[in-house]
Structure formats: structure tokens, C-alpha cells
């Protein structure tokens, strides 16, 4: 049984088993990563941050998002950005991320965004596959987007899904 509910501030204290959230917040360099880097999303877009809870209220995974507005000449557009999605290693391949992605689809459908987007590390095959499965298409490759202390910079792949 998996329950999807809004992520609260208290839940940040319960994510200690998620040891490498730098995977989750992909554009934050590992050296700068801390759980406090998630706080702005909880403040600004609490209705777009969710967790999946399993038996015993164990946190199985979470997703954070935000709406961004863009203007081009006279035209304004609204986009739902999935900032990060993470599933605990013990619960992977059990459709937990799929449930979180479905929730974000519903939220951004209700918010009438023009598109949804997510940027994924080029090497992150499972996330790229997941996004493709959910209807996202590769639109851009951003070189040197991701940095790590101990590794070379890596490109990000921007994936976009147009909403009807």
C-alpha cells in the first residue's frame, strides 16, 4: 500500500535514510548539497511537493516541483518543472516513482500549465527511460550542467512534455 501526500517540513527530518539526495536535487553540486536546499520549494510550492509513504509510515520516495512562467515577445507561458524525484533503494522498481509522476501530472493538469519539464543527468538511463515512459521528449542537451567533487562535469538532458 502506497500513500501519496504533501511533503511537510517535519518530513525533512525523516529522510535520513535517503543518504544521497544529491541525486534527487540534480542541479545542486554535491559539495553544496544539504537538505536545507529543499526548503525553498516547501515554502514556495508546498502544493507541488509530495512523498510516497509505505507501511509503518516509511518514506519510500518523494518529488518536488515548481511552476515557472516565461515570456517571449507578447506571449506568456507556464511550465511545471519537476525539480527532482527520488525513490529509496529498497523500494525501486515497484512503481513508486510512477505514482509520484502521475500525481505531478494531475497537479500540473489542474494548474493548466503549457508543458512539464525535467532535466536529467545524461548518464541516468533509468530516469531518462522513466521520463520517456511518461511522455517527455528530449529537447536540449546542456553541457557541464552537473558537477561533482570527484568527477568530471556532466551534461543535463532537458525533457519536455506538452500538456493538452
Distance in Å, CB of 71 to ligand COA, minimum? 26
Q: Lay out the site mask for ligand COA across 71-110 (x = CB under 6 A, - = otherwise).
A: -------------xxxx----xxxxxxx------------
User: What's the CA gap between 43 and 60, in Å, rounded?
Assistant: 22
3-state secondary structure of 130: helix
Distance in Å, CB of 93 to ligand COA, minimum? 5
Strand ordering across the sheet containing 115-121:
3-6, 49-53, 59-72, 75-87, 115-121, 151-162, 137-148
Distance in Å, CB of 20 to ligand COA, minimum? 8
Does 138 engage in binding with ligand COA (CB under 6 A)? no
Phi then psi for 145, rounded to 5 degrees?
Answer: -70, -40
- Please choose, out of 5-13, 22-30, 64-72, 138-146, the segment that lies near ligand COA by the rule CB under 6 A: 22-30
User: What's the CA gap between 164 and 162, in Å, rounded?
Assistant: 7
Q: Which helix (H) or strand (E) holds 81?
A: strand 75-87
Q: How far is CA 32 from the centre of its chain?
A: 18
Residues in contact with ligand COA, counted by CB under 6 A, come to a total of 22
CB of 113 or CB of 157, closer to ligand COA: 157
Enter the C-alpha cell of residue 52. 510516497
Distance in Å, CB of 163 to ligand COA, minimum? 19
**Which spans of this chain sit near ligand COA (rule: CB under 6 A)?**
23-24, 26, 84-87, 92-98, 118, 120, 124, 126-127, 129-130, 133
Amino acid at each position: 500500500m502506497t500513500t501519496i501526500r504533501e511533503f511537510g517540513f517535519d518530513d525533512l527530518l525523516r529522510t535520513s535514510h535517503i543518504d544521497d539526495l544529491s541525486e534527487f536535487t540534480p542541479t545542486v553540486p554535491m559539495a553544496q548539497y544539504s537538505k536545507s536546499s529543499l526548503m525553498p520549494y516547501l515554502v514556495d510550492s508546498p502544493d507541488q511537493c509530495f512523498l510516497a509513504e509505505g507501511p509503518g509510515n516509511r518514506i519510500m520516495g518523494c518529488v518536488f516541483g515548481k511552476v515557472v512562467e516565461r515570456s517571449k515577445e507578447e506571449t506568456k507561458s507556464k511550465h511545471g518543472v519537476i525539480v527532482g524525484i527520488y525513490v529509496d533503494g529498497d523500494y525501486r522498481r515497484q512503481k513508486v516513482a510512477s505514482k509520484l509522476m502521475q500525481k505531478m501530472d494531475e497537479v500540473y493538469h489542474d494548474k493548466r500549465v503549457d508543458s512539464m519539464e525535467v532535466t536529467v543527468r545524461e548518464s541516468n538511463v533509468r530516469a531518462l527511460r522513466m521520463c520517456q515512459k511518461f511522455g517527455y521528449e528530449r529537447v536540449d542537451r546542456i553541457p557541464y550542467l552537473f558537477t561533482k567533487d570527484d568527477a568530471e562535469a556532466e551534461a543535463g538532458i532537458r525533457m519536455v512534455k506538452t500538456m493538452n
